[in-house]
Amino acid sequence: MQTKLRTTLLIFAASLLSASMISATSPAKARTAKKESHFVGIASWYGLQHQGRKMANGKRFDLRKMTAASWYVPLGTVIRVVNLENGRAVTVTVTDRGPNFRLHRVLDLSEAAAGRLGYVEKGLTQVLITPMPPYQPQHAQLRRTLIQPSQPQLVAAETAPALAPGLFPSRP
């Protein structure tokens, strides 16, 4: 009896061990990380102190252009920025990297963009950032050839026939 019990216990322990090893080696289900479609955070602005300096995209900074710097959005992305304190909104292009992570800010705007949002004097503001989808207009193809009707006898005449008298009541 003890031999049967030992054998059963040994088989049970081996099955638990093998089950745990199989589950440890099987690939875990892919976790789909929800990609953020918008960000809320603090924005600052930069202007004259960076005028003419090279940005991350290789071009020179111009404080009069509608540009932004962010670590959270890819370079070249067009974003819509809404000032949550007054409701004003601008559309800017991410051309640079910044602000520094230790500042706990999500965005640096050019002086022109900060002016349109109305926070130049204040320096910082709470903003909502939404990436804009790229817009590629697609023009319709125009065929310049006329098609012949399949049944020419059903094509309307050049002039419309006169209406039958009394078909429509006359208005007083």
Whole-prediction pTM value? Answer: 0.58
Res 87 pLDDT > 70: yes
Report the distance separating Cα 65 and Cα 40, nearest Å.
23
CA nearest to 94, candidates 83, 102, 106, 85: 106
What letter represents residue 64's amino acid? R
Res 168 pLDDT > 80: no
Contact present, 56 and 68 (Cβ < 8 Å): no
Please provide the average confidence, as pLDDT, over all residues in the chain. Answer: 81
The DSSP element (H or E) to which 32 belongs, if any, is none
The CATH number, out of the four listed (2.120.10.30, 3.30.420.300, 2.40.40.10, 3.40.50.300), of the domain defined by the range 39-131: 2.40.40.10
Q: What is the mean pLDDT of residues 36-54?
A: 87
Phi-psi region of 14 (alpha: psi -120 to 50; beta: other; left: phi over 0): alpha
Q: What is the mean pLDDT of residues 90-118?
A: 93
